Amino acid sequence: MRSIPKKQEILLEEEIEEKEFVSIINCFYKQECYIYAIIPEFEKHLLNEISNDFIEVNRFPLPRTFPREMGYMGYIKDNQKRYIYEFYLHSTTIDYLIFSETNVSEQLRKLTKNNLNIYKMFQSNKIPHITIGPDGQWLNIVEY
């Protein structure tokens, strides 16, 4: 029998502060948190800020950009949750962004430019995760 995901939405304040945002994430992930993302190359500020901790798995041309932009697919194991808020602030320009306490780095390496959907990978493997809704208005929490 298939397990049905338990989905929850948490509405965020319009101008949520870093401490409050991290506190919400801490409710779900007490220890470390993995941040999985495909960061567009035009997000140079973010890429420079996280360069010491971002583990790049692959580079792909992003499907919904013109002219064609490259995206850096990878992850951060964020033990102190120091990058969580920065990713939240950039969530409107990052197509693929997921928070999880599960290490799926090996599965991430299997994605190809024809199959970039990180969300589908989490859903098909029933891995609990958090995504950010459009315009950073809410968090989508998915548990199995």
Domain-wise residue ranges, the chain: 18-126
Placement of tokens 């007490």 in the chain: 30
The pTM score is 0.91
The rounded percent of the chain whose pLDDT value lies above 70 is 97
Rounded-to-integer distance, Cα 13 and Cα 104, Å: 30
Rounded-to-integer distance, Cα 143 and Cα 4, Å: 9
Structure tokens at 144: 């199995």
Rounded-to-integer distance, Cα 35 and Cα 103, Å: 10
pLDDT on residue 117: 82
Average pLDDT (44-62) is 93
Q: Are 12 and 137 in contact (CB under 8 A)?
A: yes
pLDDT at 1 over 60: no
Name the band, by pLDDT with cuts 50, 70 and 90, for residue 14: confident
Average pLDDT (121-127) is 93
pLDDT on residue 134: 85
Which residue type does 13 have? Answer: E
Average pLDDT (91-108) is 93
Name the band, by pLDDT with cuts 50, 70 and 90, for residue 65: low
The domain defined by 18-126 carries CATH number 1.20.140: no
Average pLDDT (95-117) is 88
